[in-house]
Amino acid sequence: MSEDSVQKTIAQIREEYQAAQLQMLPEFISAYRQDTRAGVQKLTAQAERKLQKLEEERARMVRMTEYERQYAAYTYVCGVDEAGRGPLAGPVVAGAVVFPKDCELLYINDSKQLSAAMRTKLFSKILSNAVASGVGLATAETIDEINILQATYQAMREAINNLGIIPDILLNDAITIPDLRIRQVPIIKGDAKSMTIAAASILAKVTRDRMMEEYDRMYPGYGFAAHKGYGTKEHIQALRKLGPCDIHRKTFIKSFL
């Protein structure tokens, strides 16, 4: 046990641990590993677990950047994904993201695997770290007019056009977008395998969720803020009671009316 360790109370050491940044944890562990007090041993064990989780996350992100490394010869590698193909109401929204080379942004994952709070936190980090990002959408009216698949393609093309740069290659979640001259790599379950596709899915999901929360204020009674337009029991009950509103996809709700 070091002399400094003896002089500090467990409460003081706990405050030091809580204030420590991740990069400071190895130094914290080294300083207090020999302290035999049970409370201090508990804190060093917590620090070690936190470091272990950090290393596991970094290893996961190495796997999540396999395709980015594979196509690193391209200057602008763009991930593309969508949110909202399945709901009964609201737009389908697409995101497009280009990161700088060797960007390390931990905890990015398929948006469906993240909590709303984590998506919001990562949304800000994606925008601040990206070389370029873009969002596109197709309204419920467009979905009814040209079908959901074509509307999704339209939203994706718009997201790419809104990047402000021309990407050299697109990493897409499982699909090939028609009417583009850019090279495309469709990746099955790409939002769980590629950091840029996952980032695009977060961008699209958070954007769409915020739109549905605004629609909830415009069209009260349907519960859009809670279910985001998906076909929950509560949504279907409200639809049958109130009838469709302007943002309902008429081709999606026929069986419920």
Flag whether pLDDT at 173 surpasses 60: yes
- For residues 252 and 92, the answer to whether their CB atoms sit within 8 Å is no
Which two three-digit tokens encode residue 121? 């936190």
Q: Supply the pTM of this predicted model.
A: 0.87
Write out pLDDT tens, residues 129-164: 999 999 999 999 999 999 999 999 999 999 999 999
Task: Please answer whether residues 203 and 133 qualify as being in contact, where contact means their C-beta atoms are separated by less than 8 angstroms.
Answer: yes
Structure tokens at 6: 């003896």
Q: Is 35 annotated as a binding residue?
A: no
Q: 144: annotated binding-site residue?
A: no
What does the domain layout of the chain look like in residue ranges?
10-63, 72-206
Q: Is 213 annotated as a binding residue?
A: no
Percent with pLDDT over 90 in the chain: 85
For β-strands 132-138 and 183-187, DSSP reports them as unpaired
pLDDT digits (tens, 9 = 90+) for 59-108: 999 999 999 999 999 999 999 999 999 999 999 999 999 999 989 899 99
In the CATH scheme, what architecture does the domain 72-206 have?
2-Layer Sandwich (3.30)
